[in-house]
Amino acid sequence: MGNQTYLLETNGLTKTYKGAKVVNGLSLQLEEGEIYGFLGPNGAGKTTTIRMLLGLIKPAKGRVTVFGKDLSKERITILKQIGSLVESPSYYPHLTGKDNLETLRKILQVPKSRIAEVLEMVRLTKMADRKVKEYSLGMKQRLGLAASLLGSPKLLILDEPTNGLDPAGMIYIRELIKQLPVKYGMTVLLSSHLLSEIDQVATKVGIIAKGEMIFQDQIDVLREKASRKLHVQMNDWETGQKVLSRHGIETARHDNWLTMPNQPDGKIAEIVKELVYSGLDIYRVSEEIASLEDIFLNLTKGEETL
Amino acid sequence: MMRALIQSDLMKVKKMVWVMMIAFPAGLVGLQAVNYSLRLDHLLGLHDDYWYFLLENVHIFWPTILVLTLTLIISLFASVEHETHTWTKLFSLPVNNGKIYLSKLAIILTVLIVSSVLFVIFSMILGLSLGFGSDLPLMAASQMSLYTFIAVLPFVFIQFWLSMGFTNQGIALTTGIANAVFIMYAVDMPTWLPWRWPLLLEGITTIAPDIFYGLGTGVVLTVISLIHLTRKDVTA
């Protein structure tokens, strides 16, 4: 363990199913007030990891420390301050939305007024007295979110919370999640298989592939990884390539486009000048920025997602 | 915490549970009502003690009905949680895993006890309406009902284990219904087989070893099933 105390920390977390390592030596650190985006393709081990964080399944190896306490020893104390929504939202279809929350409220022992509060937070007040079997998938998902907020948790663990929501619902939930650390001092761990989802809310990202953490840092660091490329279109690429290699710039060709790593502004000006002096006609100079989605695909390359 | 859990579980109970709790004993006593009304003179001629003979008659199918009731009720309790995978939510709550099951078990046992009490009441009503007199055999009826309840305890825990442990209720229902049917043919079985115990073959008011076998096996099975259920991974 490092000097820094994390709100949630795992060390070498491993889970084996029938000899196959579903999660392998996963180390994850979550600081207070963060929104942690836990990203990975389907079947990468996200849900298994989350189940281990909640003590629902026991890791084969490794340990989970939450609020500075060992999960395997003080599970109930820890769970008092965790709200969670794992996979599909769980609910009792034959009960109303309000009664669904009431079954949990009795166990969590929070004041009754909290039900109206969380229903308001996810905009379900109007539907509160309807049976959940009449709810749309998006409403069920929002009810699940309301249930996770019921105990005013310090740490909120959400497994794919925007699944099944329409665009308006997605934006609303995203905004709601963004406000949680600011307004209520919550820390959020959010899993998704869509980078675009996480990109818009998370402050820190962890990317998991084949059960291993392959990237974990601030989201800005991930953005910097976005490799930029410079494309130059000209009439005679062969001469162009020679000129540029004399300046130590390796290029790749596609039609009459030459592609090279991005260069500082001064260098670009120099390249263009050289090419023009060599008698070449420059048609276009353009820059390509790889999207975060590309980086994600690159990082998880070779991963089979069907 | 146990109280909160039981209150929470009571909210989720499906109406069908209450219906079965009342309908099964009522139906069984109703069957004897038909039997008696069709051949009253013949039946009264078989035994001097009309009341005791009535209790013996209503008890014939009671073990089968009780095992059927408990099978279906336990399955309903479990499917409420299996249906939309609420186990995950339940076990993420700050409660001891064992208490989650104990709360359900407490309600199930209470429902079965209420059903057994109703069975006694319905039998008394039948006897009264047949004109057996107001000298009610409450003691004998209660003994019959209580001994049967204790003797079916092993089945309660087998069903509890199967229903709670497997999402697919087919396994639990098949086992439960097979057990219920098997009991009807258990008269000639060796005494150590649990299907024989609820038949109270030593007499419906006699404290026979069978009852203690039922109690002992029930307790052992509870402990084993609770240990297994609380330790297994929650994956659904």
Q: What are the residue ranges spanned by the domains of chain A?
A: 1-81+153-226+291-305, 95-146, 228-289
pTM of the predicted protein model: 0.85
Kindly report, residue by residue over A75-117, the tens digit of the pLDDT.
999 999 999 998 778 899 999 999 999 999 999 999 999 999 9
Q: What is the pLDDT of residues A101-158, one digit of tens each?
A: 999 999 999 999 999 999 999 999 999 999 999 999 889 999 999 999 999 999 999 9
Interface check for B7 against chain A (CB to CB < 8 A): the answer is yes
Q: Is residue A5 a contact partner of residue A63, using CB atoms and an 8 Å limit?
A: no
CATH code of the region A1-81+153-226+291-305: 3.40.50.300
**Selected residue with higher pLDDT from B186 and A299:** B186
B12, B18, B89: best to mutate for the A interface, most A CBs within 10 A? B89
- pLDDT for A1: 44
- Residue A143: name the closest of A155, A159, A127 by CA: A127
| Element containing residue A65 per DSSP (H, E) | strand A61-66
Residue in A56, A95, A102 closest to B91 by CB: A56
Report the distance separating Cα A120 and Cα B75, nearest Å.
35
**Strand partners of residue A69:** A66
Residue B12 contacts by C-beta under 8 Å, 6 or more apart in sequence? A92, A95, A103, B80
**A106:B86 CB<8 A:** no
Contact indicator for A52, A72 with CB cutoff of 8 Å: no
| Token code pair at residue B20 | 């079965």
Rounded to whole angstroms, the Cα distance separating A162 from A145 reads: 10
Cβ neighbours around A45 below 10 Å, total: 23
Using alpha carbons, select from B11, B41, B65, B82 the residue that is nearest to residue B177.
B65
Residue in chain A lying closest to B233 (CA): A57
Nearest CA in chain A to B85: A90
Q: What ipTM does the predicted assembly reach?
A: 0.86
Give every CB contact of residue B72 below 8 A, 6+ residues apart in sequence: B20, B173, B176
Give the up-direction half-sphere exposure of residue A247: CA atoms within 13 A in the CB hemisphere. 17
Query: In DSSP terms, which residues pair with A35 in a beta bridge?
Result: A188
Distance between CA atoms of A259 and A261, rounded to whole angstroms? 7
Instruction: Give the number of other CB atoms < 10 A from CB of residue B199.
Output: 21
> In CATH, which of 3.40.50.300, 3.30.70.3400, 1.10.10.10, 3.90.550.10 is domain A228-289?
3.30.70.3400
Task: Name the residue of chain B whose CA is nearest to A89's CA.
Answer: B84
pLDDT digits (tens, 9 = 90+) for B30-66: 999 999 999 988 988 898 889 999 999 999 999 999 9
Domain ranges of chain B: 2-230
